[in-house]
Structure 1
Amino acid sequence: MTDLFDKAPREGRQPLAAALRPETLDDIIGQRDIVAPGSILQRRIRARALGSIILYGPPGIGKTTIARAIGNMLGKEFRPLHATRDGVKELRKIADEARIKPLLIFVDEVHRFSSTQADDLLSICEEGTADFVGATTGNPYHALPPALVSRSTILKLEPMSIEEMCLVVRRGIEHLQRSGHEIEISDDHVRLIAGRSGGDARRALTTLESLVLGHAGGQVTITEAMLEEAYAAAPVNHDRQSDAHYDTISAWIKAMRGSDPDAALHYLAHLIHAGEDPRFLARRLMIHASEDVGLADNTALQTAVAAATAVEKIGYPEAQIVLAHACLHIARAPKSNSVCRGISAAMAAVQSQPQVVIPKHLRDAHYKGAEALGHVGYKFPHNDPRGWVEQEYVPGLQRGTFYQSDARSGATFEGRADEFWKQVTGKVQTKTFG
């Protein structure tokens, strides 16, 4: 493997991230599933049959770098376009050029292409005029025209691990030292830069460069105060219209449902730090208090509703405590899905089956003439010492058709209710588990 620094330009005032840009896939840190020997990308390059590739993932994780490396390995001129700056005219000009010499067309933010631009790009792809690599932060299956998706190989890039980010930072330090800078930095601070860059290698290198450059000679010692100043802004990738938003919300919900309080707090902190609206978070808590805790602990919904009221009144930063309170209640509470499952089954039945004829003894009898219509025979449960009487409410509806108890023990409300009604009615409630 060629050393990254042997290939990086030594002259000029290139930004550090640009100076360290790898020239082949073998030099790239991270994304091993995509760039490893034997991967589909490596095989296509070796066969010189790249075709159309879409690189999909958050900013700063190597989409442009991989595209440039592909161009180098194919020996093709790299022609970058940006969807918000370059229109149909530029695209057609490059297509004409590609007919007389080998080009790799790279389109950054390809999800921003207009329908006309996308049609022209499709024509280039279908004719095989040039190889094409597109980069997008949006989910291609949602953000790109289906025709372009169907003609492309989609490769999803993942944020780098802490260990990979540390390797990036150390390579940056070595490069700066070779350029004449004396740098003193602890392993903990290297890891801090790696961790607080949110998996964004470009951000890590840009931060490192800003910490080192501009000092009046001598050794530069990186301190925690310098790092705090550099990372005053949120380091997380969290565009509310992107997958990062929906994936983080999904992980938070699943951590609460899975009764992992530490993971639930982790994702809640991520969302709060990224500036998520506390009212949105409170709404999610109310939903999942019923959906995932439900009858196992009715007070979870009370806590969630109280949290929603509180965040309306106090806002951040104190609202984070209220949100954490409700989040932990839901995560720590016993779980029951019977409410969500029951209403879903009932709604499906009502929407798909003939309307049930309401029995006469259940119909409204609070008007003159109701008795003459036969609205009689209702048995008032409170008149019975047990508070319950045998009575049909929906003709033909069997016990357990919609509601099935999720009680795992008698300690939950649902478990206590099962035992109570078993004693009163002599009937066992249908249960999901055993």
Structure 2
Amino acid sequence: MTIHAAKIKKTIIKRSNLEELKAKKSLYSVMLVVLFSSAGIALPYPILAPIFLNEISPLTTFYDLPSKILLGIILAIYPLGVILGSSVLGAASGIYGRKKTLIITLVLTSISYVLSALAVISESFLLLILARFLTGVFSGNISIAKAVAVDLSPTLDKTYTFNLVNATGYLGWLLGPLAGGLLAVYGLETVFYFAAVAIIIALISVACLLHADAINPTISKIKFSQLFSKQNSFALLSNDKIRRIFIIYLLATLGLNAYYEFYPVWLVEKFDFNSPDIGYITVVLTLFMTITSVFFVKKLKYLLGLKFGAIVGMLLMAALFSLHPLLTENNVWPIYAITGIAIAIFNGLLPVYISEQYSDIEQGQLMGLITTTFSVANVLMALIGSLLALFGAHWAILFGAVLLIIASVDFHFSQEDIR
């Protein structure tokens, strides 16, 4: 009897180990997707600001519009595409399968990067706008990667998987600007070609490592057109509680994007940074984001709780953003390192709070809403911030600090502590 029980226990342990190994392979595959997708997104950022502020070409003088306005349009069009893509791709992955949807979108993302390179070669501003929009649409598949990470719970801890995916994204933001800065001497088109190759590598990893998920026959019969009408992530906003947390997350990400999008412009204005300089300081920023996400966010969750920890992250970001008018070329580096820590705390705890609070909702659709919200904030801040930047890029960053304070206060008084 004891021997029989031991065999059963051994079988259960073996099965558990196999499930954990399978889950880790899936996690590693989507981490590679997030790594190369984030790197591809960030690759052109260190190059765009110097090009539009310092160079004269058909790209930077389109219709004789101010170069900062043109830069704002370029920055806004990509997340505008992500809004459309992530609002339906997360839900689509829950209907047609995560792996299948991810593979299709990765193929189309790679093609879109090639189209961006061709637009730069032909110096066509309109073609570049179209290409960046399409790239954004298909890059909305990051919401699928996050949904996969959440799906692996309880086999793997949700906070652990989500923050590993976040850390991989930060690493992409670290490597992307660095590679972009180094590749700048070869031209912007080379940067886009490089991004296309990176996406192909991610595609191979998904095809080989991500296990095919079971598809619900009833759900799979939903028509594709319904993704845009009834099954998109915005449909979740009919829930009053989700709508409230959506507003909070939107305000917070508006504040974060004010920094993300205009610190390169501020660095050019304030210290005359070039592309490699922006790449190096972005490395410092994202390196501390990565370290914090991997080693400290999970501990902060247990120490502070999801709610209070997220508030700490928001208020710390607001304080650091407010320091920009006082920064010098020497102290900007350590301040940006601390800023990376604050961003990692916010990004690592608030989305997990939302996932835990609304665990009964299909996570692909919910992660789609989170990604879409961030992209809505990206678009709005690219447009609003570009107007504020006409008076100085620091005004856009200070505006972001104000929004973060408002978001943290609303979050404190309106949301439950689910410690």
TM-score range, shorter chain: under 0.3
Q: Could you state the TM-score of these two structures normalised by the residue count of structure 1? A: 0.19
TM-score between both structures, scaled by the size of structure 2: 0.19
Higher share in helix: 2
Q: Tell which structure's C-alpha radius of gyration is larger.
A: 1
Bigger proportion of residues as strand? 1
